[in-house]
Amino acid sequence: MNNDCLGKSDLKSSRLIYGCMRIAGDQSSSDIDKGKQAVYSAIDVGYTHFDHADIYGGGGSEQLFGQLLQQSPHLRDNMVITSKASIRPKNDENAHAPTRYDFSKEYLLSSVEGSLGRLKIEQLDLFLLHRPDYLFDIHEVAETFTQLKVSGKVAHFGVSNFKPSQVAMLQSVLDLPLLVNQVEINIHNIDALNDGTLDQCQQHKISPIAWCPLGGVAYPAWGNTFSAADEQRIAIELSEQAQRYNCQPWQVILAWLLKHPAGIFPIVGSTNPERIIAAKHSLNLDYSREDWYRLLEARNGQTVP
Ligand X SMILES: NC(=O)c1ccc[n+]([C@@H]2O[C@H](COP(=O)([O-])OP(=O)(O)OC[C@H]3O[C@@H](n4cnc5c(N)ncnc54)[C@H](OP(=O)(O)O)[C@@H]3O)[C@@H](O)[C@H]2O)c1
Residues with catalytic function: 56
| Distance, CA of 266 to CA of 14 (rounded, Å) | 10
| Distance, CA of 27 to CA of 120 (rounded, Å) | 19
Judged by beta carbon, residue 70 or residue 272, the one nearer ligand X is: 272
Q: Pick one of 19, 35, 57, 216: the residue that binds ligand X (CB under 6 A).
A: 19
- The footprint of ligand X on residues 157-186 (CB under 6 A) is 160-161, 182
| Torsion angle of C-alpha atoms 231, 218, 191, 20, degrees rounded to 10 | 170
DSSP 93: S
Residue type, 210: A
Cross-strand bridge partners of residue 84: 128
DSSP 215: B
- The footprint of ligand X on residues 204-223 (CB under 6 A) is 211-215, 218-219
**By C-alpha distance, which of 266, 256, 251, 264 is closest to 297?**
256
Judged by beta carbon, residue 22 or residue 259, the one nearer ligand X is: 22
| Distance, CA of 270 to CA of 276 (rounded, Å) | 6
Judged by beta carbon, residue 108 or residue 212, the one nearer ligand X is: 212
- The answer to whether 153 touches 181, Cβ cutoff 8 Å, is no
Q: Pick one of 267, 285, 295, 298: the residue that binds ligand X (CB under 6 A).
A: 267
- Residue with the closest Cβ to ligand X? 269
Range in contact with ligand X (rule: CB under 6 A) among 3-11, 16-24, 71-79, 138-146: 16-24
Q: Pick one of 157, 245, 250, 287: the residue that binds ligand X (CB under 6 A).
A: 250
Judged by beta carbon, residue 143 or residue 235, the one nearer ligand X is: 235
| Distance, CA of 174 to CA of 245 (rounded, Å) | 44
Judged by beta carbon, residue 117 or residue 220, the one nearer ligand X is: 220
Q: Shortest Cβ distance from residue 34 to ligand X (Å)?
A: 9
- The footprint of ligand X on residues 93-152 (CB under 6 A) is 130
Q: Pick one of 170, 192, 268, 295: the residue that binds ligand X (CB under 6 A).
A: 268
- The answer to whether 206 touches 167, Cβ cutoff 8 Å, is yes
Count of chain residues binding ligand X (CB under 6 A): 24
How many C-beta atoms lie closer than 10 Å to residue 284's C-beta? 12
Q: Shortest Cβ distance from residue 283 to ligand X (Å)?
A: 15
Q: Pick one of 22, 149, 205, 294: the residue that binds ligand X (CB under 6 A).
A: 22
| Distance, CA of 188 to CA of 19 (rounded, Å) | 19
Q: Pick one of 275, 280, 291, 295: the residue that binds ligand X (CB under 6 A).
A: 275
Q: Shortest Cβ distance from residue 23 to ligand X (Å)?
A: 8
In sequence order, which residues have a C-beta less than 8 Å from that of residue 165 and are 6 or more positions away?
A: none
- The footprint of ligand X on residues 42-101 (CB under 6 A) is 51
Coil, strand or helix at 158: strand
Judged by beta carbon, residue 9 or residue 270, the one nearer ligand X is: 270
H or E stretch at 43: helix 29-45
Q: Shortest Cβ distance from residue 275 to ligand X (Å)?
A: 5
Binding site for ligand X (CB under 6 A): 19-22, 51, 130, 160-161, 182, 211-215, 218-219, 250, 267-272, 275
